[in-house]
C-alpha cells in the first residue's frame, strides 16, 4: 500500500449521500464505493494468507483467503460461498468503472445485489 492515507469508508459514504441527484443517477458512484469496500476487506486478509499488505490483486487475495490456516472444511466452504459472489460483483463493478459496461449506469437492483455480496464479505472478515 502506498504512503497515501486511505479515506475511511464512512467518510466516502457520507460524501456519496451528500452528492446531488437521485439514487439512480448515482449508481456509478455507488459502485465506486462498493469497490472501495471490497478493497478494504482484501487489505485485511490475514498475513498468514497474503504476506504483502495492500489492495493489489483483489481477486487473488480473496480466493487465497479460502485456504486461511485454521479454517476447517465447513468454514472454507462458507468462505468460498461468500467470496465468489463478492468477486463476481467486483468484476462487474470494475466493468462499470472502467467503461466496459455499455450501460454505464447499472440498474439499482443490480447494485443492491452487489451491495449484499459486499456486506456478506465484510461480515466474513469482521474482527471477532
Q: Does the structure show a pLDDT above 70 at 6?
A: no
Decide if 43 contacts 53 (C-beta within 8 A): yes
Q: Does the structure show a pLDDT above 70 at 31?
A: yes
- So where are the chain's domains? 9-124
121: left (phi over 0), alpha (psi -120 to 50) or beta: alpha
pLDDT at 60: 93
- Eight-state DSSP code of residue 65: G
pLDDT tens digits, 52-102: 777 788 999 999 999 999 999 999 999 999 999 999 999 999 999 988 888
d(CA 45, CA 127): 11
SS3 content of the chain, % helix, strand, coil (to 5): 60, 0, 40
Amino acid at each position: 500500500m502506498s504512503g497515501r492515507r486511505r479515506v475511511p469508508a464512512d467518510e466516502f459514504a457520507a460524501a456519496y449521500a451528500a452528492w446531488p441527484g437521485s439514487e439512480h443517477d448515482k449508481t456509478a458512484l455507488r459502485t465506486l464505493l462498493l469497490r472501495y469496500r471490497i478493497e478494504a476487506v482484501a487489505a485485511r486478509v490475514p498475513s498468514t494468507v497474503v504476506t504483502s499488505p495492500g489492495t493489489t490483486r483483489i481477486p487473488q487475495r480473496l480466493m487465497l483467503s479460502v485456504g486461511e490456516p485454521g479454517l476447517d472444511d465447513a468454514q472454507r466452504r462458507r468462505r468460498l460461498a461468500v467470496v465468489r459472489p463478492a468477486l463476481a460483483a467486483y468484476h462487474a463493478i470494475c466493468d462499470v468503472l472502467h467503461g466496459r459496461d455499455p450501460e454505464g449506469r447499472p440498474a439499482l437492483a443490480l447494485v443492491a445485489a452487489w451491495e449484499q455480496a459486499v456486506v456478506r464479505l465484510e461480515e466474513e472478515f469482521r474482527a471477532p
